[in-house]
Amino acid sequence: MRITGLALVPPPTAATLPQVTPELLASVLARYSRSNDGLEAILAKVDLRDPDASIDRILKFVDYGHASIGGLTGGLAVALDGVSMWLAYKLFEIAQMADGQESSTRYITMDASQVPTAEELGVPHDLADRWRGVIARSFAAYHAEYARLDALAAAEPERVRLPADAKPAVVTRLRKNYALDRARYFIPLATRTNVGLVQTSRMWAQTVKHLDSLPQPEARAAATLIRDELLKQSPRLMRHSRAEESFEEQARQELALSCRMGLARLSTEGLADEVWVRVDRAAPPFLAEEQGVPEALRHRRNRYGYQGLATRRMRVSFAWNNLALAELRDLNRHRTGHRFTPLIQAGFYLPPEIARGAHAELLAEQAALTAELLRRGSPAYAYSLLLGAQTPFEHSTHADKFIYEAELRTGMGAHFRYAEHLSAALREFFVQVPEARDWVVEGTAEPE
């Protein structure tokens, strides 16, 4: 694991603008909110060559409950190289106000060398050899299925939904994507990936505090490294990023829930799809909603258009019983509202092109290891899961955000499996909001 902070510098066109550090920016804007002198007058009182005195004088308010000052630092960028896919998932779950990206499974080297050691991940010593064996056999299955599917797509090109005018390089790329996206369910969740996140000092402090409170050694190691990097840019505000009792207690409770539910539902069979959608259009009697859904939606030219009050005020909760971790990695990055999963293996998804029986021995071995870790209450159980593990996943948000997600995740180039999940959710949404049907653009996820 390697953590790197990235310091922003102004472009040449901004050379004449006042140049401030993240914490000086926060302190100046905090003073700005408590003064009618104007920004120029406030900056005139700050020695930009030695800003520490001004920063300390103002940022003391943070210690008295004014945490919002930490949100004035602007975006602090951090790159996390070589963290597990589990930690990447956890970062996006925690940092719900961050902008970020994670490496795609289409571009990561896939072999056992790309997995942290058992010691780094907290795998019990007596189970480490079994765990390493499952990891090695999972990668072998991945490579075997990728080679077979790539050859199948070359022999039967009609399987790949190619644009009519696709050039040879595009044909090759889409054929490989066809194979990569179907073989990926054998990838271990412990596999290393890279994550880049940008958020304010306030949100970084919360994120690092949360990581530092988790039972996984990898999370706590990341918290230390991230804090060390951010102390270079925001030393005062990052003081508020240590483990805290309420976070630790909730982590204990959530781990216990996952272990109980995980043991009760552990399976290697594929789960039939179930989707659950609830729409709440209630409005207070003194502030009724007068706009119709068609009027809220019909003025958009694409999914990025602005929606009206009728959808922005409508609450939507949606959930699937069997979201594979491969798709969870993508859908968990939608930032609005609240997302929840116990992160268990209630089933195991494989696409129709892969014969489940050919991998029964691997899946049985993997499930037995997961069961043992769950019985011990070990937080390392997550590192025994593969991306095909199916878990319940719930997302609560507003209708405008749900519609955007559904259009995006069924649109051009969307992964075939999460397009199926979002199409199912849309069908249930239309049952409850039928007037939206003509204005929501459900895609076909083509090409591959």
CA nearest neighbour of 224 among 240, 241, 237: 241
Residue 251 in tokens: 């982590």
Q: How confident is the model at residue 69 (pLDDT cuts 50, 70, 90)?
A: low
Of 112-121, 212-221, 235-244, 345-354, least confident by mean pLDDT is: 235-244
- CATH numbers and ranges of domains, the chain: 2-79+192-243 (no CATH), 261-349+388-439 (3.30.1360.170)
Q: How confident is the model at residue 266 (pLDDT cuts 50, 70, 90)?
A: very high
Q: What is the structure's pLDDT at 63?
A: 47
CA–CA dist 29, 118 (Å, integer): 46
What are the angstrom distances between the C-alpha of 338 and each of 203, 204, 279, 285, 335?
16, 18, 15, 27, 8
Evaluated on CA atoms 52, 55, 60, 62, the torsion sign reads negative
Q: How confident is the model at residue 59 (pLDDT cuts 50, 70, 90)?
A: low
The angle at the Cα of 254, spanning 250 to 258, to the nearest 5 degrees, equals: 170
Coil, strand, or helix at residue 180?
Answer: helix
pLDDT over threshold 90, residue 109: no
Q: What is this structure's pTM?
A: 0.90
H-only helix segments in 101-244: 118-121, 128-155, 168-183, 201-212, 217-230
CA nearest neighbour of 93 among 273, 251, 297: 251
Q: How confident is the model at residue 65 (pLDDT cuts 50, 70, 90)?
A: very low
